[in-house]
Structure 1
Amino acid sequence: MQHVAIIGAGIGGLAAAMRLAHGGVKVTVLERQATPGGKMRSLPSAAGMIDAGPTVLTMKPVFEALFREVGCQLADYATLIQEDILARHFWRDGTRLDLMRDPQASLENVRHSFGTAAADEFYKFSRDAQRLFDTLNEPMMQSATPALRRMIPEMLKSPSTVMTMDPLRSLAQSLGRRFSEPRLAQLFARYATYVGGLPQASPALLALIWHVESLGVWHVKGGMSQLAYGMEACAKNLGAEFRYDSYVTGFERGKSGKYQLECNDRFLSCDAVLFNGDPNALARGFLGPAASAATAPQASMPRSLSAHVMSFAAKVEGLPLAAHNVLFAADPEQEYGPLARGAPQHDPTLYICAQDRFGSNTPSGQERFEIILNQPPCGQTAVPSQKVREQCQTIFLDHLTRHGLSFTPRPTSRTLMMTEDFAQMFPGSDGSLYGRSPHGMMAAFARPTARTKTKGRYLVGGGAHPGAGVPMATLSAKHAAATILSDLTLT
């Protein structure tokens, strides 16, 4: 039996472990943290465990297919429940918009908030976003090695789709042409941040993210981390071994063709290595000079956005929050300027996940919140001082107050994870949460694929193709596992 070592138990590593173990390979997963999930983290609070990472789960069929293709059922390992309200959006002038699971309800809500012309523009935008997704899903996301030369003939079959891509414009420019209502343009421009980009620099084809979200948003019973634990349990049932608190400090290939991984001052021998971390860590030599040859620096540069994240329990007063909420900056023209300069925002847009409001619940006491503020990546810098943390906390709370929200007890700076903390937690990331930046029309083709330049070394996760996000990392694992199994068969 051939042996594959997976470095990292993020979603990509977990999904790959499932597929490789099902494929008859001996799998050992080495994770430096104490629990699975990577960025899909949870923390204790006064109201119970609270999500402190991804909160929005889309593309449920990707996860159903993962479990089905290894002979299991998703429902046996995690419970996914679909939300009626995709997200609730608030502007300072009192305007509110709910985008819904029901497309007709979303259309009527847009009409009610912004008028008939805006509703017509929203309808056309939704149609075009679906067209983009349908055109790019197979040749891009579902393909292990996307190539523009293979996509062009397919796109030319539908010239209208090429026009929909708006290849010469950024997402912000394209939305400015589509919507006469600037608040709708502001809403959908923010979708660039879902993959770590700025709307002024990201390609217009990222409009397809709206279609992905419109297909459905689910929450995981017990919190998002339960999906990670379910995937771990499934992989174990298939024969994978997990070793936590395991620090891999280097690996190299010996004369026998076997790889030797140095982990906790011991060595592990294997036939192939699958790296579920930021490819930038390899390029910088964090796992030794031999490993650095696996990927080129330009495959992970420039870096995507990061975030400051507050996770806490409190009683809330003010706005009628849903489970997923967006509180917009007052001036969309100035919203992303500081981030483009590598500086923090003064008047940001905030995302709020009210975890106890899933299923349209309305808790009466303390409830759990995760609040996200976009930030530029930080580079290799030290952990911030207490004074800097308190200044950041003030930015959060001031903006929430401007929208009419107050929390009791008031969350402290101890509830805050800053960009610099993520840089420490995920080596080589520079605090970036989404890997390589999506800026530029060709950015999707610049990401590294599963197979690296060095035999027996592979990549998986949000830093590799097809990119950031829980479903994309899961698809990355599908590509990686298929590549490894094929290569091991040919060896």
Structure 2
Amino acid sequence: MRSDDRGPRSAVVVGAGLAGLSTALHLRGAGVEVTVLEAQPTAGGRCPEVTAGGYRLDVGPTVLTETDQLARAFKAVGESLEDHLTLLEVDPAYVAHFADGSSLSMHSDPQRMRDAIRDLAGERDAAGYDRFVRHVQRLYDVELPHFIDRNLDGVHSLLRPALPRLAALRGFGRLDRLIASFFHDERLRQAFSFQSLYVGVPPHRARGMFAVVSAMDLVHGVTYPVGGMHAIVRAMVEVARAHGVEFRFDHQVDAVRQVGDSYEVRTPHTAHAADAVVLTCEPARAATLLADPDALRPDTTAAPSCVLLAAGVPAGLPGSGHHHLHFGTSLRGAMDDITSGRLMRDPSFLVSVPTRTDPTLGPAGADVLYALFPAPARDGSGADLDWRQLRGAYRDHMLRCLTAAGYAVDDLVGEQLITPQDWDDRGMPWGTPFSSAHTFRQSGPFRQPNVIGPRLALAGSGTTPGVGVPMVLISGRLAAERVLAGRGHRRHPDHG
């Protein structure tokens, strides 16, 4: 990806999260002079660094998949990912714990996974797993190059042979029915459909195309960076600086204005001129920065939010395994609660213990605990929940659930508790870190487009291709391609 004589010579990237860093590296690799403006004093965005009491705590994403997308950002400037980050395999990728007391270690190795399923549920479901792996890999092979890893210009850009192939793979049917066609045991149906929650839609409302997420983690594998998830940010900033990208922190952008063939990006103290601009904030925030507030029509259906508890555990935690999925009696019931604006009455939740993979995140013999409980977004009926009042009681509820699940949480160090109100206070629309939900009308070419104007683009989870670490890294590259082409035009999916 190289800039030609018609391409931009300079660019401002607004935001130093993963999307902004990906954009900066891809633009710099094309020969563009890049300045990154970040409102916070450090880089990271939704992947921040929190150190407390001798512990490094993840308070953003914890699951890393599809590391080829990360490697592409480093390769854009001629660097190798392996020279800057150490990635460790997480095996098992998850341990699923079910309401009946049974559990399942979920491996990326197909034979080990097959054996584990056979031991849990019998040969019929083990054979179903074989078919499932083949199916989700076919979905991945269709979706990644044609629907995820490319810029889309309206529905007409999907009128190609890949579309009927996706339909033939039941990509437009219901995800829960797709999963049920492979697995008879309800526990397995839960374990292989929860990934739709990553994109903000319960399995019984999600499209079958989102089974592709299972290919990303349960087939291709889960990794974890030494030093915690923020180590990704540190490495990307280090490489970007080494290649001439300029970072300016504590620079809150107030406005972006087109001036002739270029742009002026204003902060309270300075104005930056650039040939191109990429905004990595949420679309609703980006709209407030533009002279024309109608330039963007952000998506309006929020993904569910969460309550996050992260802390050090000095005495350590029993057992093994990095990522743990704890299912209640009915995953559907829990998700119905959330989408109806209620707290889960029968909770399902994620617990990660990253010190199982990287012991350096805490003192010797200690562990780091990360617990994520899905919760309603501050939208619709969920807006009626007063998290300032609920905060203490819900924390106690989480601790009781964790204790019942076997985690020793009597002594926590450096505790971080983040509720939907806290996400809201941090500027995340609807009080959710997961942006807009991937409903059918907010996915693919229907999602908020990344084109705003000539050499003016969006990146991040609120635009294409969507939510998740691999997706925001891809979004940064796609935004870079947009401004390098220099042919942006305002468009909304309703316009085709």
Query: Structures share a fold, TM > 0.5?
Result: yes
The alignment-based identity, stated in percent, is: 24
Q: Which residue, out of 162, 174, 177, partners 1:173?
A: 177
- For 2:491, the equivalent position in structure 1 comes to none
Q: Deviations over 1:235-258 (max 9, x none)?
A: 11111111111111222223x333
Aligned runs of 1:78-477 on 2, under 5 Å?
78-145=85-152, 148-155=155-162, 158=165, 162-167=167-172, 169-213=173-217, 214-254=219-259, 256-283=260-287, 285=288, 287=289, 290=291, 292-297=293-298, 300-315=299-314, 320-358=319-357, 365-379=365-379, 387-410=389-412, 415-427=416-428, 429-440=429-440, 443-452=443-452, 454-477=453-476
Q: Which residue, out of 40, 50, 60, partners 2:67?
A: 60
Judge conservation of contact 2:23–2:480 (CA < 8 Å) in 1.
yes
Judge conservation of contact 2:152–2:444 (CA < 8 Å) in 1.
no
Q: Which deviates more, 330-339 or 433-442?
A: 433-442
Instruction: Indicate how the Cα distance of structure 1 residues 19 and 95 shifts in structure 2: closer, same or farther if over 3 A, else same.
Output: same
Instruction: Indicate how the Cα distance of structure 1 residues 239 and 410 shifts in structure 2: closer, same or farther if over 3 A, else same.
Output: closer
Displacement after TM superposition at 1:384 (Å): 6.0
Instruction: Indicate how the Cα distance of structure 1 residues 456 and 135 shifts in structure 2: closer, same or farther if over 3 A, else same.
Output: closer
Displacement after TM superposition at 1:230 (Å): 0.7
Structure 2: distance between partners of 1:186 and 1:301? 28
Instruction: Indicate how the Cα distance of structure 1 residues 488 and 232 shifts in structure 2: closer, same or farther if over 3 A, else same.
Output: farther
Q: Which deviates more, 216-225 or 39-48?
A: 39-48
Instruction: Indicate how the Cα distance of structure 1 residues 30 and 383 shifts in structure 2: closer, same or farther if over 3 A, else same.
Output: farther
Q: Deviations over 1:61-93 (max 9, x none)?
A: 112222123211112222112222111111132
Q: Deviations over 1:205-260 (max 9, x none)?
A: 11111111120111101111011111111111111111111111222223x33322
Structure 2: distance between partners of 1:486 and 1:476? 15
Structure 2: distance between partners of 1:148 and 1:450? 14
Report the 3-state secondary structure (helix = DSSP H, G, I; strand = E; otherwise coil) of the residue aligned with 1:395. Answer: helix
Structure 2: distance between partners of 1:114 and 1:359? 32
Displacement after TM superposition at 1:448 (Å): 2.7
Displacement after TM superposition at 1:474 (Å): 1.0
Report the 3-state secondary structure (helix = DSSP H, G, I; strand = E; otherwise coil) of the residue aligned with 2:451. Answer: coil
Displacement after TM superposition at 1:270 (Å): 2.0
Structure 2: distance between partners of 1:337 and 1:318? 32
Structure 1: distance between partners of 2:371 and 2:68? 27
Letter in 1 for 2:426: M
Displacement after TM superposition at 1:271 (Å): 2.2
Judge conservation of contact 2:55–2:363 (CA < 8 Å) in 1.
no
Structure 2: distance between partners of 1:271 and 1:415? 41
Judge conservation of contact 2:227–2:358 (CA < 8 Å) in 1.
no
Letter in 2 for 1:211: A
Displacement after TM superposition at 1:54 (Å): 0.6
Report the 3-state secondary structure (helix = DSSP H, G, I; strand = E; otherwise coil) of the residue aligned with 1:172. Answer: helix
Q: Deviations over 1:410-461 (max 9, x none)?
A: 579x52011121122135x222222221122773221133322x33321011
Letter in 1 for 2:466: G
With structure 2 as the length reference, what TM-score do the two structures score? 0.89
Judge conservation of contact 1:83–1:101 (CA < 8 Å) in 2.
no
- For 1:16, the equivalent position in structure 2 comes to 23
Structure 2: distance between partners of 1:442 and 1:26? 33
Structure 2: distance between partners of 1:206 and 1:188? 11
Judge conservation of contact 2:91–2:321 (CA < 8 Å) in 1.
no
Structure 1: distance between partners of 2:270 and 2:459? 24
Instruction: Indicate how the Cα distance of structure 1 residues 319 and 125 shifts in structure 2: closer, same or farther if over 3 A, else same.
Output: farther
Letter in 2 for 1:123: D
With structure 1 as the length reference, what TM-score do the two structures score? 0.90
Displacement after TM superposition at 1:149 (Å): 4.5
Report the 3-state secondary structure (helix = DSSP H, G, I; strand = E; otherwise coil) of the residue aligned with 1:44. Answer: strand
Report the 3-state secondary structure (helix = DSSP H, G, I; strand = E; otherwise coil) of the residue aligned with 2:471. Answer: helix
Judge conservation of contact 1:50–1:355 (CA < 8 Å) in 2.
no
Letter in 2 for 1:247: Q
Judge conservation of contact 1:32–1:247 (CA < 8 Å) in 2.
yes
Structure 1 residue runs of 5 or longer lacking an equivalent are none
Judge conservation of contact 1:465–1:476 (CA < 8 Å) in 2.
yes
Aligned positions, number: 477
Letter in 1 for 2:245: A
Instruction: Indicate how the Cα distance of structure 1 residues 47 and 112 shifts in structure 2: closer, same or farther if over 3 A, else same.
Output: farther
Structure 2 residue runs of 5 or longer lacking an equivalent are 1-7, 489-496
Instruction: Indicate how the Cα distance of structure 1 residues 432 and 103 shifts in structure 2: closer, same or farther if over 3 A, else same.
Output: same
Judge conservation of contact 2:314–2:412 (CA < 8 Å) in 1.
no
Report the 3-state secondary structure (helix = DSSP H, G, I; strand = E; otherwise coil) of the residue aligned with 1:370. Answer: strand
Displacement after TM superposition at 1:172 (Å): 2.2
Letter in 1 for 2:223: W
Judge conservation of contact 2:39–2:250 (CA < 8 Å) in 1.
yes
- For 1:487, the equivalent position in structure 2 comes to 486
Judge conservation of contact 2:53–2:413 (CA < 8 Å) in 1.
no
Displacement after TM superposition at 1:272 (Å): 2.1
Judge conservation of contact 1:311–1:371 (CA < 8 Å) in 2.
yes
Structure 2: distance between partners of 1:483 and 1:96? 46
Q: Which residue, out of 29, 38, 58, partners 1:31?
A: 38
